Structure 1
Amino acid sequence: MSNTVKVQPDLKFVKELQAVGGDSLKKCYQCATCSVVCPLSPDDNPYPRKEMVWAQWGLKDRLVNDIDIWLCHNCGTCSDLCPRGAKPGDLLSALRNMAYRNLGPLPLIGKWMSSPAGLLPLAAIPALLYGIIWVVMAGKVGSFLPRFEWDAANHAWIPAADGKIVFGGLFPGDYTIDPVFMLVFAFMVWAFFAGVRNMLKAFDSQPKTFIVGRKSAPTMLQALIDTVQYEILQHTQFNDCNAADADELDVKRAQGHRWLMFAFIALLIVTGTVAAGHWGGWLLRALGITGLGDIVSAIGHTPMPFYHPIKLLALFGAGLGVYGLVALTRRRVNLDAAKQSSSWYDWYLITLVWVIFGTGIGAMIFRVVGAEVLAYPTYYVHLIAVFMMLAYLPWSKLGHLVYRTVALSYAKKIGRIPMGADR
């Protein structure tokens, strides 16, 4: 005797889903080609066919709690081979876009992030903040485009007509860069914490898969370590997405994604070294250990000469980032719109990362050649872009760095997908 299941379609949800990238879901006629050809879909209860059914029926409760939307890496194979052009891959992307908007707190930010109309208020916040700082500091140093020289006795940059362009002179790290970004980072962590908590709470309704032969389920920490080792550092699932006959752009997608990740890691090390050198030196001098404090400060003192190891790492990271961006952008531009589409979330992220790398490299070049009329405005835009990437990260497509990692770890914990070593 079967149980009666009450179905409550949510037509408003269907319209919202179509608006964020799932506009072709009504074309699906349940042939199951998508689930058959997916290189990642488990044999037991595969996706994305069931997601297409749930979406057509407006079963919001099932979809918003569905862990499988995070297991997809959007290779597009299902959409390429769909005989009806229903674009199942786009549906899963649209579901993730909805999750970015709704998982975390402050739904207003999620709403702004969901369309081009929200770009103005999102950019206006950091633009106004650093615009005020620029005006205040310009009044203090006597110029909007100042030059500086280093005052070793006071460990500070002072205005000098025949000096050099120093971004830290106009935007001092001590009270205009570091405190702001520390608060932004704390805000981002808080938003991710709330989002992950909501995600795990939703996953509690998932069936707990039992795998014959597995002695014991891994802990969440073990699953997380395994995910970092295999899915993040080695990009195993990205590589599994590429079929034997995958074209060059699909292969380079995985490579570009990996190189861009390593670029951010390299630049994170650079930023951390500069901050540790500056504040570590300050702390040591405050404790009376002046000699060692001066040495530590010198390690992170900026601007650095091009032969400095940290500067070389920064240049290497910038090069990796540009290579990765070129690969990802080429693939996105060359997508067949009839089979796979790009949403606002895709282009927002790619454009923002291009702006970060472009303005970072441009500001360095303009500083070296002494073009202050270009250097300072470019650096100002760079600050705005970095602020936007960090502050709004939990509501952007880049939020998958955290959400997908958590979902993959949870899926391994419950046996939905195997641990990396068991593949």
Structure 2
Amino acid sequence: MSALRNQTIEHYSYPQAISKAAKSARGNVVLFLIPMVLIALAIAMKNIESGFAFLTAKPIVYANMLPVNFIDILFLPPVLFAVFNSYKAISNFIGGLKEQYPPTDRGENLLPAVKGTIQDVLSHIEFKKCGTNKSRNISHRLMMYGFIGLFITTNAVFVLHWLNEFGFDVQVTPLPFFHPVKILGNVSAFAAFAGIYLIVRDRVKNSATSILSLFDWMFIGNMFFTVVTGILCQVFRVGDHANLAFLTYYIHLVMV
């Protein structure tokens, strides 16, 4: 199933060069080097004149290393690229389904079909139906809902920042612990971490019967280190460990 899933992803993905690169060790090195170099250059351009003063400035503020404006410039093009690629991949997949199963008058209308699909994804009902994979329902839902929460948190911080830029009196990062956005972010991070931990535990436990490819492990690893570095960024910032905090934040940005 793992091999079949990976072949399906490669076949329908756009552009296929990226999915092919993600299947090999050399390709993954290249994919990681791109954000590593770009983010490092952005940090250098921002801080070289000040002698990287953010490392000794108190309190620790990650925006001193790389302001939100820089992050927006760096991340917005990849986000748009990913949205476009997702649209193309989904279109290719739907096109393939239409070839195998031509539309009929008995088929569902678009809105009911979309609604049913969303309900199935959010409930992971197929895992519940399968006795072998029933235990994976909880772990996958924890990870999924965790990342949905983190996505909402990220966009909420984005909105707060720009509201502040336009003169509105709103709290910006670093947010206090009991701020609703901070609470959502922390709860979501620990939910995602718990889900990934359970997924890895089950995979290792069933390694004799369930073989994962490099693609699978790289995907799981990327999710894991994204969450862990995000949590550690907060831990090191609160603990006032500047060097560890900024290094971890850099790694976190690369993983994202």
TM-score category by the smaller chain?
A: over 0.9
Provide the rounded CA distance (Å) in 2 between the counterparts of 1:105 and 1:309: 37
Provide the rounded CA distance (Å) in 1 between the counterparts of 2:42 and 2:16: 28
Provide the rounded CA distance (Å) in 1 between the counterparts of 2:196 and 2:5: 22
The answer for the alignment partner of 1:350 in structure 2 is: 220
Provide the rounded CA distance (Å) in 1 between the counterparts of 2:51 and 2:103: 67
Provide the rounded CA distance (Å) in 2 between the counterparts of 1:122 and 1:384: 10
Provide the rounded CA distance (Å) in 2 between the counterparts of 1:346 and 1:171: 31
Give 1:306's match in structure 2, choosing from 150, 172, 177. 177
The answer for the alignment partner of 2:86 in structure 1 is: 192
Counterpart amino acid of residue 165 in structure 1: I
User: Equivalences for 1:315-354 in 2 at 5 Å?
Assistant: 315-337=186-208, 339-354=209-224
Residue 217 in 1 paired to residue 107 in 2?
Answer: yes
The offset of 1:191, in angstroms, is 0.8
The offset of 1:220, in angstroms, is 2.2
The offset of 1:204, in angstroms, is 2.1
Matched-pair contact (CA < 8 Å) for 2:143–2:192: yes
- 1:188–1:315 CA distance, 2 compared to 1 (3 A): same
Provide the rounded CA distance (Å) in 2 between the counterparts of 1:127 and 1:320: 27
Report the TM-score, using the length of structure 1 for normalisation: 0.57
The offset of 1:104, in angstroms, is 2.9
The answer for the alignment partner of 1:373 in structure 2 is: 243
Matched-pair contact (CA < 8 Å) for 1:101–1:110: yes
Provide the rounded CA distance (Å) in 2 between the counterparts of 1:113 and 1:179: 25
Residue 260 in 1 paired to residue 114 in 2?
Answer: no
Counterpart amino acid of residue 62 in structure 2: F
The offset of 1:109, in angstroms, is 1.5
The answer for the alignment partner of 2:63 in structure 1 is: 168
Residue 232 in 1 paired to residue 141 in 2?
Answer: no
Provide the rounded CA distance (Å) in 1 between the counterparts of 2:107 and 2:98: 16
The offset of 1:208, in angstroms, is 4.5
The offset of 1:282, in angstroms, is 2.6
- Paired residues, what number? 256
The offset of 1:333, in angstroms, is 0.6
The answer for the alignment partner of 1:412 in structure 2 is: none
Matched-pair contact (CA < 8 Å) for 1:263–1:317: yes
Provide the rounded CA distance (Å) in 2 between the counterparts of 1:107 and 1:228: 26
Farther-moved stretch of structure 1 (198-207 vs 340-349): 198-207
Residue 122 in 1 paired to residue 31 in 2?
Answer: yes
Counterpart amino acid of residue 282 in structure 1: E
The offset of 1:141, in angstroms, is 3.2
Matched-pair contact (CA < 8 Å) for 2:203–2:210: no
Residue 141 of structure 1: SS of its match in structure 2?
A: coil
Residue 382 in 1 paired to residue 252 in 2?
Answer: yes
The answer for the alignment partner of 2:74 in structure 1 is: 180
Residue 139 in 1 paired to residue 10 in 2?
Answer: no
Farther-moved stretch of structure 1 (231-240 vs 201-210): 201-210
Provide the rounded CA distance (Å) in 1 between the counterparts of 2:116 and 2:141: 17
The offset of 1:228, in angstroms, is 0.6
Matched-pair contact (CA < 8 Å) for 2:127–2:134: no
- 1:232–1:121 CA distance, 2 compared to 1 (3 A): same
Provide the rounded CA distance (Å) in 1 between the counterparts of 2:107 and 2:248: 51
User: Equivalences for 1:21-170 in 2 at 5 Å?
Assistant: 90=1, 93-143=2-52, 145-147=54-56, 161=57, 163-170=58-65
Counterpart amino acid of residue 228 in structure 1: I
Report the TM-score, using the length of structure 2 for normalisation: 0.93
- 1:180–1:321 CA distance, 2 compared to 1 (3 A): same
Provide the rounded CA distance (Å) in 1 between the counterparts of 2:207 and 2:253: 35
The offset of 1:111, in angstroms, is 1.9
Provide the rounded CA distance (Å) in 1 between the counterparts of 2:255 and 2:28: 12
Residue 123 of structure 2: SS of its match in structure 1?
A: coil
Q: Report % sequence identity.
A: 30
Q: Which has the larger radius of gyration?
A: 1
User: RMSD in angstroms over aligned alpha carbons?
Assistant: 1.9
Cα-to-partner distance string for 1:336-395 (whole Å, 9 max, x where unaligned): 42x321111211111111110111111111111111111111100000000xxxxxxxxx
Counterpart amino acid of residue 115 in structure 1: S
Provide the rounded CA distance (Å) in 1 between the counterparts of 2:98 and 2:156: 40
Provide the rounded CA distance (Å) in 1 between the counterparts of 2:13 and 2:217: 21
Provide the rounded CA distance (Å) in 1 between the counterparts of 2:239 and 2:217: 32
User: Equivalences for 1:399-414 in 2 at 5 Å?
Assistant: none
Residue 205 of structure 1: SS of its match in structure 2?
A: helix
The offset of 1:263, in angstroms, is 0.6
